[in-house]
């Protein structure tokens, strides 16, 4: 983006930004909610719902470092003549004060990230990375890769083959990578470890293969990541541990080599997450999100060698994140076929307090779903970016890399594999000769022949095949003929 355009964007947005002056400084000790601490309870049992004002059409959330606030994006639906449907969806950014339950709107934006001290909040808008401090936009950066990383109050980002470090007083080049390893988005995806010491580089090919590297931020030097059949990598939320997944194995790699590898069959499910301290991996199954209403799933805790505990978590979607202090777990609940709501649960609670779908709110959500004549649900917690047209065979839904994709309806998995242009794909055959397929996925969570329920996770958002960014191409066929999934 050219400098003049960035300046105009910056000037326009400054006028619309609400004050953040007190957001990142509120102490976690001042928080109040509708539950109390329960002595001796499991800290990874997150089963008590926190009463908050309704936040509808939520997409993703990011905790402030002191766990007192949530920066979240939600969908704004507006009428337009630019789409065949007559409407469009755009992400809006707000910040929730967990203590007061009040939200402050920032305006259009997505992918919020706090600095380690909470002094700064960065987010994306129209191709620019905006940095906010005390209600004021300081600058608009133009990174060449979407993945950035705060290290204290210093922001690491990519500018072509250079790794930059931005602070309020300076923007310096930390290192450069060789020309043949310059990451070019979206063919290549680069990401930083949580501590900003290492980075990963994945180079996708249209034949389904990928080259993977791990590099050192200070030097820009890379080395191949020796893997076999790897389809997905992800940095832990703290330190330098890298999760490496294939269709059949799960591996944790520390900075000095492999920490441990296990067959996927060793775990009770294929969905992963992280403990609040980011040291151990959670593995388990997320229950279908239809019928609506929260149920609680049991995950095992794996340290790379042994199973060292369990966690009880709600079957919410979206980011599915613990607060940094481990007191809360947040995600997005489905309360309609296409509607969602942001939910927060208190951790350290007794499993005996698990709620059921018999509660009035759950019954209302279920009635809303049952009253809809359609069957298909929104496949991922994301926003529509493209619709079915004569030249586009499905619906594109944008969501953060790694987000869970769910089955549109009950059915049998009839395809898992690679398809030209569409990349890695998962297809489900439903009743009446109707089939739905999810393309560009990074990770398949199911096998051919497996029965899945409506709202059950089947894959994770990726960037395989021909794609301009992380999203799912959601396609439906009736007896082999393309149909609009929005009408099913």
Map tokens 């249209």 to a residue.
Answer: 206
Examine residue 226 and state whether it is found in any structural domain, yes or no: yes
100 CB-near residues (< 8 Å, 6+ apart): none
Q: Which pLDDT does position 213 carry in this prediction?
A: 96
Give CA–CA dist 423/438, Å, rounded.
10
Work out the angle at residue 162's Cα, subtended by the Cα atoms of residues 156 and 167, and round it to the nearest 5 degrees: 35
- pLDDT for the residue 370: 84
Domain span including residue 104: 3-368
Where a domain ends, among 340, 368, 396?
Answer: 368
- So what's the pLDDT on residue 31? 32
Residue 40 pLDDT: 53
What is the per-residue DSSP string for 322-374? E-TTSSEEEEEEE-SSS-EEEEEEEES--GGG---TTSHHHHHHHHHHHTSS-
Q: Which of 156, 84, 173, 82 is nearest to 115 (CA)?
A: 156
Statement to judge: residues 116 and 189 lie in one domain: yes
Q: Taking a C-beta distance cutoff of 8 angstroms, is the pair 201, 222 a contact?
A: yes
Residues 189 and 224 in one domain: yes
Domain shared by 206 and 304, yes or no: yes
Q: 406: domain CATH number?
A: 2.70.70.10
User: Is 373 part of a structural domain of the chain?
Assistant: no
Looking at the fold, whether 350 and 420 belong to one and the same domain comes out as no
Strands in 205-349 per DSSP E: 210-216, 222-224, 230-235, 242-246, 249-254, 257-263, 271-274, 281-284, 296-302, 307-314, 317-322, 328-334, 340-347
Rg over alpha carbons for the chain, rounded to the nearest Å, is 22
Dihedral sign for Cα 226, 420, 90, 488, please.
Answer: negative
Residue 109 falls inside a structural domain? yes
Shared-domain flag, residues 68 and 123: yes
218 and 270 fall within a common domain:
yes
Other CB atoms closer than 10 Å to residue 319's CB: what's the count?
23
Specify the pairing of strand 242-246 against strand 249-254: antiparallel
Note whether 202 and 290 are same-domain residues.
yes
- The verdict on residue 54 lying in a domain is yes
Asked whether residue 378 is assigned to any structural domain, the reply reads no
- Residue 327's alpha-carbon distances to 17, 58, 103, 324, 452, in angstroms, are 30, 21, 20, 8, 32
32 within domain boundaries: yes
Is 430 domain-assigned?
A: yes
How far, CA to CA in Å, does 215 sit from each of 222, 247, 255, 257, 408?
4, 25, 11, 13, 39
Give me 138's structure tokens.
């300081």
The residue from 368, 393, 412 where one domain ends is 368
Closest CA to 117 of 155, 85, 80, 143: 155
Tell me if 438 sits within 8 A of 408, measured CB to CB. Answer: no
pLDDT at 291: 78
Q: What is the pLDDT of residue 81?
A: 87
The answer to whether 120 touches 150, Cβ cutoff 8 Å, is: yes
Give me the DSSP letters along 28-88: GGG---S----TT--TTBEEEEPP----BSEEEEEE-TTSSEEEEEEEEEEE-SSSTTSEE
Here the CATH number for the domain that contains residue 261 is 2.130.10.10
- C-beta of residue 234 within 8 angstroms of C-beta of residue 445: no
Q: Is residue 375 a contact partner of residue 454, using CB atoms and an 8 Å limit? A: yes
pLDDT in 10s for each residue of the chain, 488 residues:
444 444 444 444 443 443 343 333 333 333 333 333 444 578 999 999 999 999 999 999 999 999 999 999 999 998 988 888 889 999 999 999 999 999 999 999 999 999 999 999 999 999 999 999 988 999 999 999 999 999 999 999 999 999 999 999 999 999 999 999 999 999 999 999 999 999 999 999 998 899 999 999 999 999 999 878 899 999 999 999 999 999 999 999 987 666 899 999 999 999 999 999 999 999 999 999 987 778 899 999 999 999 999 999 999 999 999 999 999 999 999 989 999 999 999 999 775 444 455 567 777 888 888 888 899 999 999 999 999 999 999 999 999 999 999 999 999 999 999 999 999 999 999 999 999 999 999 999 999 999 999 999 999 999 999 999 999 999 999 999 999 999 89
Residue 201 forms part of a structural domain: yes
Number of domains in the chain: 2
In this structure, the answer to whether residues 7 and 69 fall within a common structural domain is yes
Measure the CA–CA gap between 51 and 15, rounded to whole angstroms. Answer: 33
Whether 198 and 266 share a structural domain = yes
Q: Tell me the C-alpha distance between 253 and 261, whole Å.
A: 9
Asked whether residue 208 falls in the same domain as residue 148, the answer is yes
Phi, psi of 49 (to 5 degrees): -70, 135
Handedness of CA 273, 275, 281, 286 (dihedral sign): negative
Q: CA 45 → CA 37, 41, 348, 475, 484, distances in Å?
A: 12, 8, 5, 37, 41
One domain for residues 423 and 283: no
| End position of a domain, from candidates 301, 334, 368 | 368
Q: Is the domain of 355 the same as that of 390?
A: no
């Amino acid at each position: 983006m050219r400098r003049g355009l960035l300046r105009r964007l910056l000037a326009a947005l400054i006028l619309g930004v609400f004050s953040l002056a007190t957001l990142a400084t509120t102490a976690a000790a001042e928080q109040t909610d509708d539950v109390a601490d329960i002595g001796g309870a499991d800290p990874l049992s997150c089963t008590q719902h926190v009463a908050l004002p309704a936040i509808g059409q939520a997409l993703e959330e990011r905790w402030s470092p002191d766990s007192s606030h949530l920066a979240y994006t939600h969908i704004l639906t507006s009428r337009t003549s630019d789409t065949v449907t007559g409407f469009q969806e755009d992400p809006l950014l707000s910040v929730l004060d967990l203590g007061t339950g009040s939200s402050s709107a920032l305006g259009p934006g997505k992918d919020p990230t706090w600095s380690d001290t909470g002094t700064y909040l960065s987010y994306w808008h129209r191709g620019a990375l905006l940095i906010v401090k005390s209600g004021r936009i300081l600058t608009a950066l133009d990174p060449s890769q979407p993945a950035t990383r705060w290290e204290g109050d210093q922001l690491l980002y990519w500018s072509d083959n250079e790794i930059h470090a931005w602070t309020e007083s300076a923007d310096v080049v930390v290192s450069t990578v060789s020309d043949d390893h310059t990451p070019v988005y979206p063919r290549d995806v680069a990401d930083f470890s949580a501590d900003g010491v290492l980075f990963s580089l994945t180079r996708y090919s249209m034949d389904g293969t990928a080259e993977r590297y791990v590099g050192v931020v200070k030097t820009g030097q890379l080395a191949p990541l020796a893997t076999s059949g790897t389809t997905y990598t992800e940095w832990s939320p703290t330190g330098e541990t890298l999760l490496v997944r294939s269709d059949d194995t799960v591996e944790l790699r520390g900075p000095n080599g492999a920490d441990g590898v296990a067959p996927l069959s060793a775990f009770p499910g294929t969905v992963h997450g992280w403990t609040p301290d980011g040291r151990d991996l959670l593995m388990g199954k997320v229950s279908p999100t239809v019928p609506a209403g929260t149920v609680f799933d049991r995950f095992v805790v794996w340290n790379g060698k042994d199973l060292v505990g369990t966690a009880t978590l709600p079957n919410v979607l979206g980011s599915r994140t613990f607060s940094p202090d481990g007191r809360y777990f947040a995600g997005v609940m489905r309360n309609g076929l296409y509607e969602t709501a942001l939910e927060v649960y208190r951790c350290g609670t007794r499993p005996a307090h698990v709620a059921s779908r018999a509660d009035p709110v759950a019954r209302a959500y279920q009635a809303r779903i049952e009253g809809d004549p359609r069957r298909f649900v929104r496949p991922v917690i994301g926003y529509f970016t493209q619709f079915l047209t004569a030249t586009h065979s499905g619906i594109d839904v944008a969501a953060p890399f790694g987000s869970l994709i769910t089955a549109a309806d009950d059915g049998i998995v009839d395809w898992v594999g690679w398809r030209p242009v569409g990349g890695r794909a998962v297809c489900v055959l439903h009743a009446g000769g109707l089939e739905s397929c999810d393309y560009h996925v990074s990770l398949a969570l199911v096998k051919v022949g497996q029965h899945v329920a409506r709202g059950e996770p089947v894959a994770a958002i990726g960037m395989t095949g021909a794609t301009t960014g992380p999203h799912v191409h959601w396609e439906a066929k009736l007896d082999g003929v393309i149909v609009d999934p929005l009408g099913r």
